[in-house]
Amino acid sequence: MENLKKQVGIEAAKFVKDGMIVGLGTGSTAKYFVEEIGRRVAEEGLNIVGVTTSNVTFDLAQSLNIPLKSIDEVEYVDLTVDGADEVDPKYNGIKGGGAALLMEKIVATYSNDCIWIVDGSKIVETLGKFPLPVEVVPYGARRLLAKFEDKGYNPKMRLSGDDYLVTDMGHYIIDLHLEKIEDSYALADELDNTVGVVEHGLFNDMISKVIVARETGVEILEK
């Protein structure tokens, strides 16, 4: 599995060209992409600027001497490469398994192109088996939990040890165990309009390609 993840990371890095501003995703698959970019910067003199999507990715990119800017220091990002937790046939997906969905969505929003790198198990017919992460403001989080319970969304506060997990941006995460999301656009609208929700892990219409690692090799799916 690790070798397959590495392969898609390296494959995605081939889309990165000199002069680009590159969004650097988060997670165990995106890590290989960032490492490959670091290798090319060091060994091939690749000239890019990276924009990171989490503190973990920032630390990794910095340790690899990838030149970095924050999203506020660039007008746009040319290409972002990130992992995902589920991808459906419309190329919509769930992200946030690694709790970085807010920064990931901000960077994706200002990106001219986004590619996801995943293993084959993440390609699904219908989103929702993977719990949908919802990032919420701590104040009122229990009220939101109760609200989602009333709606039958099977919410669970995400924990880190015995405490609520706190994201890089200082929020909590409520995971919705929905099993099936019939309409990812309607649910995204509903969550976007819920007070106290900062962001959610539904990424609709944000990517052009998925690079999939399968036992049989790497497959590039284009929208």
Tell me how far apart the alpha carbons of residues 61 and 78 are, in angstroms, rounded to a whole number.
17
Strands (E), 47-196: 49-52, 79-82, 86-87, 93-94, 114-119, 132-136, 155-157, 159-160, 163-164, 172-176
Catalytic residues: 104
Q: Is 100 in the site for ligand 5RP (CB under 6 A)?
A: yes
The least distance separating ligand 5RP from the CB of residue 97, rounded to whole angstroms, comes to: 3
Q: Does 9 bind ligand 5RP (CB under 6 A)?
A: no
Query: Is residue 83 annotated as involved in ligand binding?
Result: yes
Q: What is the DSSP letter of 68?
A: B
83 or 131, CB closer to ligand 5RP?
A: 83
Query: According to the binding rule CB under 6 A, does residue 97 interact with ligand 5RP?
Result: yes
Q: Measured between alpha carbons, how far is 93 from 36 in angstroms, rounded to an integer?
A: 24
Given candidates 14, 28, 63, 67, which one binds ligand 5RP under the rule CB under 6 A?
28
Q: Which residues inside 140-169 make contact with ligand 5RP, applying CB under 6 A?
A: none
Q: For residue 25, state whether it binds ligand 5RP (rule: CB under 6 A).
A: yes
Nearer to ligand 5RP by Cβ, of 38 and 133: the residue is 133
**Which of 200, 179, 8, 188 shows the shortest CA–CA distance to 96?**
200
Q: Is 196 annotated as a binding residue?
A: no
CB-CB contact of 175 with 158 (8 Å): yes
Q: How many residues line the site for ligand 5RP (CB under 6 A)?
A: 18
Q: Is 19 annotated as a binding residue?
A: no
Footprint on residues 69-88 left by ligand 5RP (CB under 6 A): 82-85
User: What is the biggest distance separating any 2 CA atoms in the chain, rounded to whole angstroms?
Assistant: 55
Per rule CB under 6 A, is residue 111 in the interface with ligand 5RP? no
Are the C-beta atoms of 169 and 55 separated by less than 8 Å? no
CA proximity to 19, closest of 42, 45, 57, 1: 45
Q: Does 22 bind ligand 5RP (CB under 6 A)?
A: no
The answer to whether 50 contacts ligand 5RP (rule: CB under 6 A) is: no
Contact 118, 210 (CB under 8 A): yes
> Which positions lie near ligand 5RP, rule CB under 6 A?
25-30, 82-85, 95-101, 104
Binding residue ranges for substrate: 26-29, 82-85, 95-98, 122
